[in-house]
Amino acid sequence: MILDPGILALLVSSLLISLMSLYASGWSIRILRRWDLASGSELQLALERRTYLISTIVSYFLAFQLVSLFLFIQTADSISHLFVGAMCAVGTLTVSSFGYPTLLLKIVTFILAGLWLILNHADNQGYDYPLIKAKYLLLLIMAPFILAETVVQGAYFLGLRPDIITSCCGSLFSQNSHKITSEILAAPSAPMEIVFYSSMFITFAAGARLFVQGKGGYFFASMSGIAFLTSIVSVISFISLYFYEMPSHHCPFCILQKEYGYAGYPLYILMLSGTVTGLGVGLLQQFSKEKSLAETIPALQRKLAAVSLTAFFLFTVIVTCQILFSNFKLEGY
């Protein structure tokens, strides 16, 4: 294990978050089993009070998870030169097979927490807690992911062995050590550009339709999911190249660095917020028939669609500006 401050911070926060989510799941089971709005029992009153606590816990969790996602990448990047052949976070994450799963779990839990908060917000609008069961079921689905993330992240960091000099000799121990693939497989750029822009276009169209006519919630949600995936593939395939101005550097993490003006932070934050709010529209669609939410859900969906569209739009604008105004031209690669 490497006793780096960043790693310690990530481990500590993951443990705390896991404890919090275990606590919240314990109460969700009780809520799922015993919730009865018609009852005036002491238990029901206690459960109603707990809902405040749990929604606060999840809101904090969402904020922490966003920072921890970036800190994870940043830490992986900063310890990369401890491994032979690793140039940046990509190399560090491939050192052990737990690297990418950790990152994936962090993204998944972030999105789930975002969706939960949307559901919670909608639920609070109705006078009779119409979504309470769905909400706590989602929390129970989320908890295993959070625990898995803590375990996988722990296994990843505990398993890292830096290639350093020992007192008897230098290079002989490191030379035969593992080979790290520092490059990421990238999709060909020209077709990917077409896929990226068309998926964004369809997402905008679906969003506009939802906004104006209030129709096609599921379609918009699935499109924003697709837009998320294509954006990630596009960042690796061609967007990052315009930031690095290099035809062979496909790293999705280096754009978070100072050398590239921290451009990755706005890009990824926009991408994630567009996706969470977009998926939230689809999630709410399912409950639009609830009587007490009949009015609020369409309005909320419009709001979410507007946020999602703005985020994806800004993302596309930043990317397009970089493509147009960068000194780098990517024809023929």
Partner 1 sequence: MTRMIERQRHIMDFTLAALLRRKGKNGALLSVYTLLVFILASILFFTHALKHEAALVLNEAPEIIVQRTMTGRYQTIPVAWSDRIRQINGVISVHPRLWGYKYDKDFLANYTMMVPAGNPPEPGSIDIGSGISRMRGANRGDIIAFAGHDGQPRSFTIRNIFDSESQLVTSDLILLSEKDYRDFSGIPEDQSTDLALQVRNPREYATIAEKISRMYPDSRPIVRTEIQRTYDALFGWRSGLMIVIFAAVALAFVIFAWDKATGLSAEEQKEIGILKAVGWETSDIMLMKFWEGSIISLTAFLLGTILAYAHVFFTSAALFAPVIKGWSTLYPTFRLTPFIDFGQVATLFFLTVVPYTVTTIIPSWRAATIDPDTVMR
Binding footprint of partner 1 on the chain (CB under 8 A): 2-10, 12-13, 16, 19-20, 49, 52-53, 56-57, 60, 64, 67-68, 70-71, 74-75, 78-79, 81-84, 162-165, 168-172, 174-175, 258, 262
- Closer residue to partner 1 (CB): 57 or 187: 57
> Closest separation between CB of residue 296 and partner 1, Å?
16
- Closer residue to partner 1 (CB): 57 or 323: 57
> Closest separation between CB of residue 289 and partner 1, Å?
27
- Closer residue to partner 1 (CB): 163 or 193: 163
- Closer residue to partner 1 (CB): 175 or 213: 175
- Closer residue to partner 1 (CB): 38 or 172: 172
> Closest separation between CB of residue 160 and partner 1, Å?
10
> Closest separation between CB of residue 271 and partner 1, Å?
18
> Closest separation between CB of residue 52 and partner 1, Å?
5
- Closer residue to partner 1 (CB): 209 or 303: 303
316-329 burial by CB neighbour count: b if 16+ within 10 A, else e?
beebeebbeeeeee
> Closest separation between CB of residue 121 and partner 1, Å?
12
Which tokens is 55 given? 């929604």
> Closest separation between CB of residue 81 and partner 1, Å?
6
- Closer residue to partner 1 (CB): 8 or 194: 8
